[in-house]
Amino acid sequence: MQTTSITTPDTTPDTKLATGFSRRSVLGSAAAVGGAALGIGALTAGATPARAAGQRTMVNQAFEAHEIVRIGLIGLGNRGSGMARGWADIPGAHVVAVCDIRADRAKRVADDLVARGKTRPKEYGGERGSFKQMLDREELDLVYIATPWEFHYDQARNSMLAGAHVAVELPIATELNELWDLVNTSEMTRKHLLLAENCSYGRNELAMLKMAHEGVFGDITHGAGGYLHDLRALLFNDGYYTDDWRRLWHTRSTASFYPMHGLAPIAAAMDINRGDRAVTLAATATAPRGLADYRERFVPRDHRSWKEEYINGDRISCEITTSGGRTISAEHNVSQPRPYSRINSIEGSRGLFEDYVGGDSTGARVYAEPLHSGDTWRGFKELRQEFDHWLWKELEDDASGSGHGGMDYILQWRLIQTMRAGLVPDIDVYDSAMWCSPVPLSVESLAKKGKPVEIPDFTRGNWRKPRVGLDSRQTEMPPVP
């Protein structure tokens, strides 16, 4: 396929799965290799590397219009295979290639798409570098990556270098120099990279966003979000996370691995990178108790996990401050018993919104002056209907039955729409880098006994400009030729 020539060396890390990780790097990933090779070195929080010649901002950069979006999928495990149907079902999107290190998965997904009446995609797989073969041989407009976290950075970077836009599952990278390198690569290649943050398209989240912009909550002062999900059974399940990849991250570092599902909607409601900026992060961590306790009670003694030591705290809390005087609490806990929550709460000078509290059928409650009085919570249903995002009004029927309550389909539909219509994406590389920065920054703050560390300005000053983002104006999906 057509490629963009950039004089940065191939930094494909010799990543090892399973227990082969060293704890010498911040998170034990292969990040230091890539960063060093790029000349970025061991970036500390807050440092802003200079732009290379020819590198320009991607702020407000529209996609080039695509009549048809040709998609390649990398990673066809639980998430990737689940999303494959969605991509193929979006009008004007063609899944033309599928890739997994396990070739049988690629065949299975290809078979499934054919069974659903789609053109058979080309299959790639069998080895770690199979995705590169796909990138070399196929003309791709979009690459979707749903592999274990340790592969995201390298695969995303190579996809942009190969000339494709990229949507990456959480997180886009786990090290600061990797995040910067993805920003730089996007700016250099003029290809968008975005976090496939489906929760940014949640119905409650989008209504909350529109209410924040309307001023229902007054001047926003605080928000809280995170990922509180009891994953213990899945983490110890044989096969759910291939080669135990996700559980093994808990043996490598103490870090907020995955707070983005809750952080991203709050950041959007606060217009982070679109008028405000996250400036510091301070992390705390509890002791790691949950996984060992679960293993003790439910996992046979001859299971391989008994060779592991879990060092990640059960709850990692990140307190983020913004340039506008706001605060954000971003939480991560996947190793203790609890009902699911992304917290998703926001408050301001005129009111507040709290999700996951069972207010009514929406699961949320609200209180805002002058609509409400008496210091009594109200259910969210009426206001959600009033502030319902056009994407949900238009796509509710199509999205019903798709993954995660329809958020997956909305994300996929909107991304394809913006690509086909030549619009500015709702989420860009700067949003993605900031939302993922708590992963390395929590490590750095914890190493400093919880002291605040600077959050880089990935926009290099462009955060001051208001931009539309997720609170978009309704537009049509272009007709399929």
Which residues contribute to the site for another protein (CB under 8 A)?
Answer: 210, 212-220, 271, 275, 348-350, 369-376, 378, 386, 464-468, 471-473
Min separation Cβ 374 and another protein, Å: 3
Min separation Cβ 223 and another protein, Å: 14
Nearer to another protein, 7 or 373 (CB): 373
Q: How far is CA 297 from CA 6, 125, 290, in A?
A: 52, 38, 11
Min separation Cβ 111 and another protein, Å: 42
Which two three-digit tokens encode residue 416? 């394809």
Nearer to another protein, 216 or 411 (CB): 216
CA 148 to chain centre: 13
Nearer to another protein, 468 or 480 (CB): 468
For residues 203 and 223, what is the distance between their CA atoms, to the nearest angstrom? 17
The dihedral over CA atoms of 152, 340, 319, 445, expressed in degrees to the nearest 10, equals -50
115's CB contacts (< 8 A; 6+ apart) are: none
Nearest to 145 by CA among 71, 87, 85, 80: 80
Contact assessment for residue 226 and residue 259, using Cβ atoms and an 8 Å cutoff: yes
Min separation Cβ 405 and another protein, Å: 23
User: Which stretches of 90-202 are DSSP H helices?
Assistant: 103-115, 130-137, 149-161, 176-189
Nearer to another protein, 118 or 372 (CB): 372
Min separation Cβ 119 and another protein, Å: 37
Nearer to another protein, 120 or 393 (CB): 393
Nearer to another protein, 202 or 440 (CB): 202
Which two three-digit tokens encode residue 157? 């970077």
Nearer to another protein, 80 or 351 (CB): 351
For residues 240 and 245, what is the distance between their CA atoms, to the nearest angstrom? 10
Nearer to another protein, 215 or 405 (CB): 215
Min separation Cβ 348 and another protein, Å: 7
For residues 111 and 100, what is the distance between their CA atoms, to the nearest angstrom? 14
Nearest to 355 by CA among 464, 238, 261, 435: 261
Min separation Cβ 138 and another protein, Å: 36
Nearer to another protein, 286 or 327 (CB): 327
Cis peptide bond N-terminal to 440, omega within 30: no
Q: Residue 41 CB: number of other CB atoms within 10 A?
A: 13
CA contacts within 13 A on the Cβ side of 378: 17
Nearest to 25 by CA among 153, 130, 127: 153
Min separation Cβ 415 and another protein, Å: 19
Min separation Cβ 474 and another protein, Å: 9
